[in-house]
Amino acid sequence: MKKSKKIYLETYGCQMNFSDSEIVASILTHEGYDYTSDLATADIIFINTCSIRENAEERVRKRLQYFKSLKKKNPGLMIGLLGCMADRTKTALVEEEHLLDMIVGPDSYRHLPLLLEQVGTGRRAIDTILSADETYADITPVRLDTNGVSAFISIMRGCENYCTYCVVPSTRGQERSRDAGSIVSETRDLFNRGYREVTLLGQNVNSYHWVSPEGIIDFSRLLENVAGVNPLMRIRFATSHPKDIPDRLLYTIAKYDNICKSIHLPVQSGSDHMLTLMNRKYTREQYMERVGAIRRIIPDCAISTDIITGFCRETEEDHQHTISLMDWASYDFAFMFKYSERPQTLAAETLKDSVPEEIKERRLKEIIDLQQKLSFESNKHDLGKIFSILIEGESKRSKAHYFGRNTQNKVVIFPKTEAGPGDYITTKIIRFTSATLIAEVVTP
């Protein structure tokens, strides 16, 4: 096989998937393949998938049908499916999607060069074996379609929380943390290359655990080490589990100016009944106590969340408990979804998806409507405030404006100045919507 073939990567799902795509690009470019962002020039197409929600899989299947039309025109085109969907649905995909040359799970990316050689001999390649220790710690990701300012760093893989609705433990395997030294080194390398913000990624970053010669490094200590690379490097992270967010971590966030004051704390439901069925391992009261600790220790911290409505056996009373918790917490932002049953989950095996679709739709609308009000009120409180913004790039709506985010992870739009992407600039909020802050540039 000629090693000058061009690979095209298309990614669906969460930030972890985008990080994985950068690892894939690094592995293959190291072997002599070329990366292209132009689908029309590709010799090999990889689609990196997500199985967390049904609509993500539906989008992938529709996309595969389009790729099938490309392959009819170019029989030599290779098409591979990567990621969680590859692992979860490999048998069905082999039977249904005859155009696929490769099906490769998230722990098998190092094998891609050999798998491509196998496909080059006319044989289909499937490798979805999960690993107990793969973290890709020694691989420097190729930053794909980057703004040159912000980057993702994967600090751990897998999950062992076993929420009943979630496929991650079965598709990404057991939890394992990456060498802390390699994370700090990657952060330093990114800073030296001009990046000014990193997001540390893991299914549950709070449970990060690395045993070093100097002792145990937990997530709080890792944050300190990464923040110490340079005060101009902003640090974000996702995602936190409410059962694993101790005061020590909150004090660390409060201590360092370059650790952003924004915590994503998924609640999923405000009902103890639902939380038990979801196996979330905390109660409503315990969740509220952690939110209270965040407000006390980091008063200016933004809190965002995930909410699932219409989970198995959810009653109207359960729904109202979620509404009341949202009102109490006054979330700055939320990702909101109606429940869709995922195969290979405990919920699919032991619980009936019993809430009618029309009720799910109505409850979701109520949750979205409330969150829009909460986001509007949150942004209203920022009117007149001064924020240091890291410029990320040009606004999508106006070539005369830049956009960036403040420490609370809110998008801020402001007029262009002599400063540019990667620079910090001081702004004053003069207008707002429920989604965006509009600012003027001020002299610090």
Q: What is the CA radius of gyration of the chain?
A: 22
> Position of tokens 């911290």?
301
**Helices 15-30 & 112-120 angle (0-180, nearest 10):** 70
pLDDT of 50 strictly over 60 = yes
What is the rounded average pLDDT of the residues 11-20? 87
The residue-averaged pLDDT of 374-391 equals 98
- For residue 338, pLDDT over 50 is answered with yes
Beta bridge pairs of residue 47: 10, 81
Confidence of residue 414 (pLDDT cuts 50, 70, 90): very high
For 147-195, how does the pLDDT look when each residue is reduced to its tens digit (9 = 90+)?
899 999 999 999 999 999 998 888 888 999 999 999 999 999 999 999 9
Q: Say if residue 93's pLDDT is above 80.
A: no
- Measured CA to CA, the distance from residue 190 to residue 198 in angstroms comes to 8
pLDDT, tens digit (0-9, with 9 covering 90-100), for 113-154: 999 999 989 898 999 888 889 999 999 898 887 789 999 999
How many C-beta neighbours within 10 Å does residue 216 have? 10
Q: Residue 40: pLDDT band by 50, 70, 90 thresholds? A: very high
Q: Which of 200, 222, 199 is nearest to 211 (CA)?
A: 222
Nearest Cα neighbor of 334 from 372, 293, 301, 290 is: 372
Can you give the pLDDT at residue 58?
A: 82
Q: Which domains does the chain have, with CATH numbers?
A: 6-127 (3.40.50.12160), 150-380 (3.80.30.20), 386-441 (2.40.50.140)
> Looking at per-residue confidence, does 297 or 57 come out higher?
297
d(CA 370, CA 362) in angstroms, rounded, equals: 12
Q: Tens digit of pLDDT for each residue in 225-242?
A: 999 999 999 999 999 999
Q: Which residue has the tokens 């949150």?
A: 378
* pLDDT of 2 strictly over 60: no
Separation of alpha carbons 142 and 315, rounded Å: 47
Q: Is residue 408's pLDDT more than 80?
A: yes
DSSP-assigned states of every residue in 11-70 = E-SSHHHHHHHHHHHHHHHHTT-EE-S-GGG-SEEEEEE--SSHHHHHHHHHHHHHHHHH
Q: What is the crossing angle of helices 284-297 and 247-255, to 10°?
A: 30
- Residue 1: per-residue pLDDT: 41
- Is pLDDT at 106 greater than 50 in this prediction? yes
Q: Are 200 and 236 in contact (CB under 8 A)?
A: yes
For a pLDDT cut of 90, what percent of the chain falls above it?
A: 79
C-beta separation of 237 from 200 below 8 A: yes
